[in-house]
Amino acid sequence: MASKLEQLVEQLNSLTLLEAAELSKMLQERWGVSAAAPVMAGPAMAAGGAVAEAEAPVIEEKTEFDVVLKEVGPKKINVIKVVRQLTNLGLKEAKDLVDGAPQTVLQGVSKEVSEDAKSKLEAEGAVVEIK
């Protein structure tokens, strides 16, 4: 059993960010679950263990983000390389995306994936916005 799990971990480690985001969406749809951290919204307990009459409203946290390339910056070739890495696009498609900035690079990804993509692109001098 551990061998199967180890193989699965190795396969998951080899996924690109875009593939991991797609896998997450597929699993959420198939299993009817969310990858977002659960929000604790239970009733407030008053002194003596009685349930308080007024509950705080539940605020849902945004779970899907878009990564938008606003400006390329001085290192266009490096930005194209990062876009290819993040999206698995071909060279021409990645170049067209970068040349057409502002453009959405990733759409509907988790907060962690969007922040990782933003930091990689900004490290190459690009201006990026997460929506």
Alpha carbon of 94 to those of 16, 76, 99, 100, 103: distances in Å? 16, 11, 9, 10, 11
Alpha carbon distance 125, 130 (integer Å): 16
**What is the reported pLDDT for 42?**
52
Strand ordering across the sheet containing 65-71? 103-109, 65-71, 127-130
> Candidates 3.40.50.2300, 3.40.50.300, 3.30.1390.10, 3.40.50.11810; correct CATH number of 1-32+63-131?
3.30.1390.10
Alpha carbon distance 12, 5 (integer Å): 10
Alpha carbon distance 3, 30 (integer Å): 25
Q: Which residues contact 101 (CB under 8 A, 6 or more apart)?
A: 69, 70, 71, 72
With b for 16 or more beta-carbon neighbours within 10 A and e for fewer, the 103-130 pattern comes to eebbeebbeebbebbbebbeebebebee
**What is the reported pLDDT for 24?**
77
Cβ proximity of 72 and 126 under 8 Å: yes
Mean pLDDT by 10 residues, the chain (131 residues): 77 78 78 60 50 61 85 89 87 88 86 88 88 87
**What is the reported pLDDT for 2?**
66
| Domains in the chain: boundaries | 1-32+63-131
**What is the reported pLDDT for 46?**
47
